[in-house]
Structure 1
Amino acid sequence: MLDPSELYAIDPAVAAEVEARTVGGDGPVLVHAVRGFMDAGGAGRLAADHLIEAHESTRLATFDTDQLIDYRSRRPTATFDANRWSDYERPELVIDLLRDSAGVPFLLLHGMEPDVQWERYAAAVRQIVERFDVPLTIGIHGIPMGIPHTRPLSVTAHANRQELVADHMPWFGTVEVPADASTLVEIRLGESGHDAMGYAVHVPHYLAQSSFPQAGIMALEQVQRATGLELDLAELTESAQDAMLEVERQVADSPEVAAVVHALEQQYDAFSKNIGRPNLLADTSEIPTADELGAEFERFLAQQGPEGTER
């Protein structure tokens, strides 16, 4: 492997500020929301954009995207103005230093997912984690699920140490899915003894291609819960309210979509009742295993007719 440190540049002044704030070997947490393989509802993108807009930030590290991005696979945007090229949107992959509402520093890794050199990229992130004594790395993104927008959102939590997600209900057993660079980062950090976890927000599948601010809020609420950071969610909450009104309007204008939503509501409510929880986020002292949950879900679906009602 080529030297991972040659993939990025650190601003020495910002680095000194981070290191000066490190107390007792406990540095800032690192949140990452890298755009690439999957982000239903724009959960990670909206969360990252909101953090940059709502909190003071300075650039700590800049990755060399010329070494990491396949431009012909994901072509950057250029602007043509009458008779000249006036702008070029250079891909970015960066780490910013932010401060929460209480002034507590944290790091945000955001931008384009690397297309190549994943192992080297993961090693570079590990170098940064170790240099700045990052105690916890958290990834956020969205995945499409067969749930209605009228019910509370839920998340799939994952971590390289079981204790980090002990209070979250597992949604899946063992499955094989396409990997992404953030997955590899979590795995490699765990192998080197660093805590890393992530949250995949469940987004209604019919909203997966749209910006769904509720998903961004859910992602950031999970980050707050895991880290104790105080994040300003006011503007994102306002956007979520506007987005929900627009979704409701479109559903009301389409009997076909309304029927789908109603069927999903019935399935959600019936499944929640069957597993003894008022909603899929409710606390419980006896969390079913993934196999138990999967078996119960299969049994439940077998009882359902084509319109989402019991046979």
Structure 2
Amino acid sequence: MEDLIIYEKIELHSPYLIMGFYGWPNAGEVATNTLTYLIKHLPADPYGEINPEEFYVLTTSEYARPQGVIEKGVLKNFDPPGTLLYCWKNKQGNDLILILGREPDIKWKKYADTILDFFSRFGLKKVFTIGGEYALIPHTRDPRISAVVNNEKLKEELSGLNVEFTDYSGPTSIHTYILLACRVRGIDCTGLWGDTPNYIQMSNPKVSYFMLERLTKLLEIDISLEEIKKEGERFEQQISRAIAQKPEAQEFLKKLEEIYDESEKSSGPDKREIEDLIKGVEDFLRQDGQGPTQN
């Protein structure tokens, strides 16, 4: 069985790839919400899939296992984890391939090669990876969008988009390997990350809205973001209402906002103090039943 299964042969025009993954690099479901919104609103059509047998370990956890549906003793559906591809033909520019799936457990090199080698046949121009990460930031402030690029000149393309450039050392995701694999091939690759508050470990549409604002400009596409903007506003109001019911949580949030605002003017926040505050807000939200919950 081929690693990449294409449903229908379509001639592509210098495509851009946009990739997002479930799992570790998807805090606040920023990556998957962003890709899902694009697929729905472009709209993009199913294009292909990647054979899951090569890239996933299905027994490491409940989350990793295939999902099944049984009704009255009859098997109705069996759905293994994997990667789906969608295509949007752009009449005025580069075609878009949207790749949405679970982060592969193994064989990152083969996974990246399978995708990049195939689309290089069509003159692949750019790759964007989308991710979410937990950060020391209050939900009442605009989320930060940060970037990692695989060559210096790409920083110029991000100027004016209010994107910060990442400093980081530590464990990495498939995003980092894709950046490297693209650089070896001479393909421009930009990784975009949205910061979501540590104390809200649930789907965060507000961050996805801010991500889509930047991404649509980079892709030079025009789609309405009003739906996800309103979702983000409702989400912020929901969290604020939960905190408002607890005076102590309000005090924690107020202090977090003060420290965060001050850190924006200086070299950085007092992380230990902020972590203590976040722990307090988490405890109050959990007691109130508003979160946080696991992705």
TM range (shorter): 0.7 to 0.9
Cα–Cα, structure 1 residues 55 and 83, in superposed 2: closer, same or farther, change >3 Å?
same
The answer to whether structure 1 residue 143 and structure 2 residue 136 are counterparts is no
Letter in 2 for 1:170: F
The answer to whether structure 1 residue 160 and structure 2 residue 150 are counterparts is yes
- Partners of 2:48 and 2:67 lie apart in 1 by 23
Deviations 1:174-203 (A, max 9, x none): 51x222222211111111111001111111
Match of 1:130 among 112, 115, 120: 120
Residue matched to 1:6? 2
Q: Secondary structure at the match of 1:69?
A: coil
Unaligned runs of 5+ in 1: 275-295
Q: How far off is 1:30 after superposition?
A: 1.0
Q: How far off is 1:258 after superposition?
A: 2.1
Q: How does 1:173-252 map to 2 (within 5 A)?
A: 174-175=168-169, 177-207=170-200, 209-252=201-244
Q: Is the 8 A contact 1:143 1:203 kept in 2?
A: yes
Deviations 1:139-164 (A, max 9, x none): 11110111111111112200101221
RMSD of equivalent CA atoms: 2.6
Q: How far off is 1:66 after superposition?
A: 1.7
Residue matched to 1:31? 18
Q: Is the 8 A contact 1:8 1:61 kept in 2?
A: yes
- Partners of 2:94 and 2:135 lie apart in 1 by 34
- Partners of 1:252 and 1:101 lie apart in 2 by 49
Q: Secondary structure at the match of 1:268?
A: helix
Bigger radius of gyration, 1 or 2? 1
Residue matched to 1:109? 99
Unaligned runs of 5+ in 2: 279-295
Deviations 1:118-138 (A, max 9, x none): 111111122133112121100
Letter in 2 for 1:158: V
Q: Is the 8 A contact 1:41 1:142 kept in 2?
A: yes
Q: Secondary structure at the match of 1:128?
A: helix
Q: Is the 8 A contact 2:69 2:77 kept in 1?
A: yes
Residue matched to 2:270? 301
Residue matched to 2:291? none
- Partners of 2:166 and 2:207 lie apart in 1 by 18
Letter in 1 for 2:252: V
Q: Is the 8 A contact 1:199 1:222 kept in 2?
A: no
Letter in 2 for 1:202: D
Q: Is the 8 A contact 1:58 1:97 kept in 2?
A: yes
Residue matched to 2:288? none
- Partners of 1:63 and 1:136 lie apart in 2 by 20
Question: How high is the TM-score relative to the length of structure 1?
Answer: 0.78
- Partners of 1:35 and 1:100 lie apart in 2 by 26
Q: How far off is 1:236 after superposition?
A: 1.3
- Partners of 1:104 and 1:190 lie apart in 2 by 20
Q: Is the 8 A contact 2:145 2:194 kept in 1?
A: yes
- Partners of 1:98 and 1:45 lie apart in 2 by 17
The answer to whether structure 1 residue 121 and structure 2 residue 104 are counterparts is no
Residue identity over aligned pairs, in percent, reads 21
Q: Is the 8 A contact 2:65 2:80 kept in 1?
A: no
Cα–Cα, structure 1 residues 94 and 83, in superposed 2: closer, same or farther, change >3 Å?
closer
Q: How far off is 1:211 after superposition?
A: 0.8
Q: Is the 8 A contact 1:34 1:182 kept in 2?
A: no
